[in-house]
Amino acid sequence: MHHMASNREGEPVPEPGKERKLIGDRGDFFLNRVQGEAGVNISACYQCERCTNACPVSHYMDIKPHQAMRYIQLGWREELLKSSTIWVCLSCEMCTTYCPNEVDVAETINHLRNMAVHSSITPKDKSLAIFHQTFLEVLITSGKVNEFRLMSAYYSKPNILKEKMKEGTLKEEILLGMALLRKGRLKLYTPRSRAIKELQKADNQIRGEIV
């Protein structure tokens, strides 16, 4: 898998023949927005790369965690929201734990993921993005995530079932579901949460709706 190179400051170095981006040409608008909405101090990141070194899945990311922080500082919103990084992230918070300046990298990436869901930008890893969106839809509808309901809703999304069949993973996932069902680990039904109204109110506030 090819990864973009970076210089000592962690700034992406374009491949020969590719258009160079001007540093600082987008101002601090995106940086201030993410810091204000997520409550994180991305300005404190000085590109030590400890977050990337601690990340167990950085090898699968097209933009490494430390590079993602630099992208925000530079205002490169589109590149981040259409990257695979925000969907590959496991939210294990190893990056945040090892940051010497207490930059909440995990929360930042989670916030970028939510921004991507509500944007018109087509994600690089579309199936993961759709799964995340479906997860939120099920959560907001019932207040709890029932695995059977979640996967049913996920497979009903356009082209997902077709993609699973194409990849050859559908049979394996069905067999796994049946095994979990036999062991009582997969419940067909779970009651709605009593806190569903509070959860829906919080979701509306995130979307910027007045409640």
Query: Could you tell me which residue, 15 or 196, shows the higher pLDDT?
Result: 196
Tell me the C-alpha distance between 70 and 108, whole Å. 12
Tell me the C-alpha distance between 163 and 157, whole Å. 11
Tell me the C-alpha distance between 142 and 69, whole Å. 34
pTM for this prediction:
0.66
**pLDDT for the residue numbered 73:** 95
Query: Could you tell me which residue, 79 or 166, shows the higher pLDDT?
Result: 79
Residue 95 has pLDDT above 90, yes or no: yes
**pLDDT for the residue numbered 74:** 93
The answer to whether the Cα torsion of 158, 168, 84, 97 is positive or negative is: positive
**pLDDT for the residue numbered 15:** 62
Domains of the chain (ranges; CATH) run 5-117 (1.10.1060.10), 126-206 (no CATH)
Residue 136 is encoded by which pair of tokens?
A: 């939120």
Residue 156 has pLDDT above 80, yes or no: yes
Least confident residue range of 49-63, 87-101, 150-164: 150-164
In this prediction, residue 207 has a pLDDT band, given cuts at 50, 70 and 90, of: low
**pLDDT for the residue numbered 5:** 60
Residue 3 has pLDDT above 60, yes or no: no
Taking residues 102-126, what's their average pLDDT?
87
